[in-house]
Chains A and B, each alone.
Chain A
């Protein structure tokens, strides 16, 4: 009798590592201003690390107020120069060319994204990069058709856009910001998150290759201070920010009284509502994707599970069974489902909130897999028997933690879903089509899914109500914040 345990016992699986030789890291990355690489005036650099190993990958420049000013000036002169006079058709050509270059290099970018951010290669390869390319393709199409986006109205570009993005989807968030800005004829100064600058910096090589004029897109790397000096620069016409609600509120205060337009895409605490008539196995799988996608570092993550009483136990049992199978570990392993927690600070925040949940009386269950020794990791976790008043139900955890509550009537589910300060996303799981529409129309959230979750598409507007933000990104709605609409 042969021994098949090398396969039958899944713990014996060998890693299927993605090849990293496509990525050619520099030791040090300067600022990208006016079509060239520029050393920061104060000579300051910060380390960027691989969260899965804790090891340093490279050094990245820290932009000072003076550097930011140079970048904004470059964007301004590009806007007033070649780019400003370029036709929509020509802008569209450049964007199409860029989108194709991204597709050609997508494997390299996926590896870079995984190295720098800690997300599983399966996700950066199958989700992030295809979406990045499709965002540029989609907006390339709009560049010469803006008059059709707003029929009967005249549209003009705004000028210089200051954009600050988070670390959870470094390249995708850059695409969400840059693509509509350029399609509408603006120029850009973008600040990536301090921990994940590499993929955006590499993207600049493709902008050059595509033939964009210098100064159209400028990258200033750095931390909070760099972001502040960018958003507060007086020659900026439009601010776009994605990040925490706390910072978003602060930005809104600072922008008050200025001429700057702004869109904010902030936190969320989405409910996933599972009804008794749902396709249970597919709902369970969808709930898993809804919360554990990108280690739960997703603003639209479905972090609150509301389950109708009759199927509560079955759903919880099946969730646990599935969570036990999720592969945690090296993000470069093609079989990894859950990668590294992005930073030790984020890990500390997740641990603190979960401890608070336990202290408040939730029952904690985690999947019990062995975690790697180096780097930051967190097991997929359920907090059972949660109450609406618990901090873990009200506050965004931004990690692989799902709170579970039961409900009896549809109205109770709707009330619970709406009862947080956020309103970014939500979803229902039911086999009845009419019910999915009637319930979602009662939920005050910008993005709603039925029988799926975390599905993103450049054609579809994304954004929140209440403390989840202001404005929409994607679709026709996402063009509006980047243009002046006249009569």
Chain B
């Protein structure tokens, strides 16, 4: 696709109370039986299992990859997860192991001076190229919130266009860092900029600030994706990240996607969860659905 700067005058305002009310109503939906089981399994298949710590080691990344490929050793039919998400320096470690197992699990890498994005554009592009050359299938970039918040929307757009170019064949997820954008209006504008610039996915958060993914901010982004699809016919994926650690909440996200975007978006090609501890709770709920009993979390591998 050709990047195209969205017409800012056509971006609709967002009513905060209306968004919160709609999200709250979605939380009252109740899934039962087979539907719940299918949704839990679907959620596992949409996981971007993530480790983004200064203390990450090749050993930890390898173990996390194993977990992503076969999340529940006692129920091998569950999974695999969609991807593992690591820093650029760990991409080659993950790539090697996943190729060795010929797994479908993708290797995603944060890049562009994650998480703050506070580096010159040239370095951020280099960072991206490094991760792609090391074997990343997907790049999770951060936008320059400083530029966005000072109203330099075109520069933010231009940066995303250049990073997208640097990605080559790798898919680009654009992290808006909604916790720093603060208002739903800003989230909507940033979503439009990212999609116009060629994002394959838009993503809420880095997981490194106070407020990460929430149902309301995800709702605003899903509605932006739907409107963009109506205008252009191009599907864009969604990835809420950070703060989703319980299965119940994950299912509420899935119900929201089903309501706003429909079932076409309900696959790991178009929806992901950026999470680390969510896996365990999903597996515990799945085990409960199949056996009727909750088991101690010590039966599930942490990473």
Residues of A whose CB lies within 8 Å of any CB of B are 2-10, 12-16, 122, 126, 277-283, 285-286, 325, 334-335, 431, 451-452
Contacts and interface: CB of A to CB of B under 8 A. Distances in A.
B32 A282 contact: no
Contacts of B21: 285
Given A4-B41, A8-B42, A335-B29, A279 B18 contact: yes
B54 interface: no
Contacts of B223: 281
Contacts of A12: 34-35
A285 B38 contact: no
Nearest to A9: B263
Contacts of B32: 13-16
B259 A14 contact: no
Interface residues of B, number: 32
Contacts of A7: 31, 35-36, 38-39, 42, 254, 258, 266
B120 interface: no
A6 B35 contact: yes
A19 B15 CA distance: 36
B18 A282 contact: yes
Nearest to B257: A8
B250 to A, nearest CB: 12
Given A280-B12, A281-B12, A8 B22 contact: no
List the 10 closest A-B pairs by CB distance, nearest first. A282-B18, A16-B30, A279-B15, A6-B38, A7-B38, A282-B15, A7-B39, A431-B13, A8-B263, A6-B34
Contacts of A452: 17-18
15 contacts: A2-B45, A2-B77, A4-B42, A4-B45, A10-B258, A12-B34, A13-B31, A14-B34, A16-B30, A16-B31, A122-B28, A279-B14, A282-B14, A285-B21, A325-B259
Interface of B: 12-15, 17-19, 21-22, 28-39, 41-42, 45, 77, 223, 254, 258-259, 263, 266-267
A286 B18 contact: yes
Q: Which of A9, A126, A277, A282 has the most CB of B within 10 A?
A: A282
Contact of A14 (B14, B35, B266, B267): B35
B38 A8 contact: yes
Nearest to B41: A2
A397 B32 CA distance: 36
A335 B30 contact: yes
A5 B38 contact: yes
Where chain B touches its partner, the secondary structure class is helix
A15 B31 CA distance: 8
A452 B16 CA distance: 11
Given A279-B13, A285-B22, A8 B33 contact: no
Given A7-B254, A451-B15, A126 B28 contact: yes
Given A7-B254, A279-B13, A280-B12, 17 more contacts: A4-B38, A4-B45, A6-B38, A7-B266, A8-B42, A9-B263, A10-B258, A10-B263, A14-B32, A15-B32, A277-B13, A279-B12, A283-B15, A325-B259, A335-B29, A451-B15, A451-B18
A15 B35 CA distance: 10
B166 to A, nearest CB: 32
A13 to B, nearest CB: 5
B28 A334 contact: yes
Given A12-B35, A14-B34, A16-B32, A285 B18 contact: yes
A281 B39 CA distance: 26
Nearest to A285: B22
A456 to B, nearest CB: 15
A4 B17 contact: no
A3 B177 CA distance: 33
Nearest to B227: A281
A282 B25 CA distance: 13
Nearest to A10: B258
Contacts of A282: 14-15, 17-19, 22
A13 B259 CA distance: 13
Contacts of A278: 12-13
Nearest to A431: B13
Given A4-B266, A280-B12, A452-B17, A334 B30 contact: yes
Contacts of A14: 32-35
Nearest to A327: B29
B38 A3 contact: yes
Contacts of B259: 325
Contacts of A277: 13
Contacts of B38: 2-8
Which of A12, A279, A334 has most chain B Cβ within 10 Å?
A: A279
A385 to B, nearest CB: 23
A13 B18 contact: no
Contacts of A126: 28
Contacts of A451: 15, 17-18
Question: In this complex, which of B13, B35, B39, B223 has the most chain A Cβ atoms within 10 angstroms of its Cβ?
Answer: B35
